[in-house]
Amino acid sequence: MTEETPSKIPAFIREAVAEDLKNGRFNYVRTRLPPEPNGYLHIGHVKAFLIDYFTAQEFGGELYLRFDDTNPSKEETEFVDAIEDDASWLGIKWAKVTFASDYFDLLYDWAVRLVQMGFAYVDDQTQEEMSASRGTLPKGTKWSETESALKPGVDSPYRNRSVEENLDLLERMKNGEFAEGSRVLRAKIDMAHPNILLRDPVMYRIMNAHHHRTGDKWHIYPMYDWSHGQNDSMEGVTHSLCSNEYIIHRPLYEWFLQKLEAFPSRQIEFSRLNLTYAMMSKRKVRKLVEEGIVRGWDDPRLTTLRGLRRRGVTPEAIINFVTSTGETKNDSYVEMAQLEAIIRDDLNKRAARRMAVLRPLKLVIDNYPDDMVEEMDAVNNPEDPSAGTRKVPFSKVVYIEQDDFRETPPPKYFRLFPGNEVRLRYGYLVRCTHVVKDDAGNVTEVHCTYDPATKGGDAPDGRKVKSTIHWVSAAHAMKAEVRLYEQLFTVERPDDGDLDSIINPNSLEALTDCYLEPALKNASLSDRIQFERTGYFCLDLDSTPEKPIFNRTVTLKDSWAKEQKKGQVE
RNA sequence: UGGGGCAUGGUGCAAUGGCAGCACACCAGCCUUUGGAGCUGUGGAUCUUGGUUCGAAUCCAGGUGCCCCAGCCA
């Protein structure tokens, strides 16, 4: 009996790759991960990363990390480092790091070959002229409500220049003899092609920008279509996996490689990941950062990898999420609840349990000796016995959660109220006797009596209480700030909306008066902690020993909150 | 009046001609020293019309709906 490890890549990709191996198109597998270094990675990128990585892995192949740095006006080294850092944090391993710019010389040679074969020419038209001569899409598409029909493009007046003239002009473009935007090199395909991408696509444009790696050497830079496939081929990439929007580029991808008789890399597409309440548009996320709506690219409310990371989500949870949602060619929107469920599942297994009171209310145990302190045994993780136990100090005055006391309890409220008995977790059974109020009528102290026979929380007489609440000894508590996060947006699809009207003003609530059990003093940045009954938390990057700060990664499921909500609706 | 892609519960994914299943969400219950976790159960789907077949989510034909494409962005 051999247990097969389940595949982490979708069947349609697995089968396509297997077929290429079987029929001899390739005898090895190499994939590539092609980020453009112009921003930080977000969770939408992870899916593509993982498909590339796992495809190589499953077929015993290798992965290259290749930065697509063909547009010097937008790209920066800062992002190269950040992307490498994020990808390795995820656990992705690559055989080597390359850059599209590593191939600029070879690519230029290939362009010259195409010109020599008569498949490319230099066009002197202005951008407007080129656009106008490309033809139009028919009425009904989003670009054209008024145009009545599809119109074929018309040939550029420069389309039939001689090979010699093209070669000369291309050389001079490369040498920086012409102004930016004055000329381009175009492939010579078909100006009437139904696929507009094949209407003589631009290969090179003139740019005098400074490139982060090649400096000022180049005055022409390749377009995506004249670079990506060629780089794949030059690197011996067998399978170039990308998102559905590139499907229409595939004929062009193949056209170039066929004309050049180059290594036949194969492009395969899949749908990109969409997540509700997540902003995937780089441009819009940048705006959030620039306008100060969030605190930076690593704001825990963002679904950038850095944000998720700072929030306390583990790489394993992210990988579980992406592989469990699966990959197809369907357009889809995964619910944020799905991500949260997987984060909870992951953290439930690994997080140490601790007690923390976020909104404190003083509870005084009147019959407990004034100066007595007891060390109570508390379980670190009921899901993991090997995590052991710890001691938690207990004394006469403790803090409990404001939510855990009601002077007049609503229906089905099991927590503390006058006359009711509850368990202080790992402590004692206590019964509420009376409250103390301030002048405004707010409860400032809850008074209880405890049953000394119930140390640890078990009643020898077998009596049950309906509720167990958490607490922190006032004399031993560690004070901290706790940041609670909610959805950043009020709508499911923030990429579609107008930014100003979709921001949730309550997405961050910073509680500065929280009391934590003393064991939390030893918390480190990599720790994952469950504050019992509240949620999963981790130390924030801004935290210092003098001023500890914790982030809420995700709440626990809260059936009482749900019950209350139901009561409001009905 | 172009080209391309995609249609399975609310959401995401399976079922590769043979009992439509899983996860999340939802609802009900059990259990519980976390109103957590866990467990049990209910409801709910093959876009449509026709065809092939003993048998169709799957194959064929037509229709419908949604998405992508006119950057010297990637």
User: For chain A, which residues make up each domain, given as ranges?
Assistant: 11-270, 275-350, 352-565
User: How would you write A241-309 as a 3-class SS string?
Assistant: EEEHHHHHHHHHHHHHHHHHCCCCCEEEEECCCCECCCCCCHHHHHHHHHCCCCCCCCCCCCCEHHHHH
Decide if A36 is catalytic. yes
Distance A18 CA to B63 C1' (A): 36
Q: Which of A26, A135, A40 is nearest to A81 (CA)?
A: A40
Q: Distance between CA atoms of A265 and A503, rounded to whole angstroms? A: 44
Amino acid A140: pLDDT: 55
Query: In CATH, what class is A11-270?
Result: alpha beta
Which chain A residues 271-310 have CB under 7 A to strand B?
271
pTM for this predicted structure: 0.95
- The answer to whether A33 and A94 are in contact (CB under 8 A) is yes
Amino acid A149: pLDDT: 59
- pLDDT digits 0-9 by tens, A227-268: 999 999 999 999 999 999 999 999 999 999 999 999 999 999
Which chain A residues 317-346 have CB under 7 A to strand B?
324-335, 337-338, 341, 344-345
- pLDDT digits 0-9 by tens, A197-222: 999 999 999 999 999 999 999 999 99
Assigned fold of A352-565: Ribosomal Protein L25; Chain P (2.40.240)
Per annotation, catalytic residue among A282, A284, A329, A493: A282
Give the Cα-Cα-Cα angle A99, A105, A109 (nearest 5 degrees).
130
Decide if A445 is catalytic. no
- pLDDT digits 0-9 by tens, A400-433: 999 999 999 999 999 999 999 999 999 999 999 9
Amino acid A2: pLDDT: 39
Strand B: positions under 7 A of a protein C-beta atom: 1-8, 10-16, 23-27, 33-38, 66-74
Distance A274 CA to B63 C1' (A): 30
- Determine if strand B comes within 7 Å of the CB of A423: yes
CATH of the domain spanning A275-350: 1.10.1160.10
Decide if A139 is catalytic. no
Amino acid A493: pLDDT: 94
Which chain A residues 200-239 have CB under 7 A to strand B?
201-202, 205-206, 221-225, 228
Residues of chain A predicted below pLDDT 70 = 1-5, 138-150, 568-570
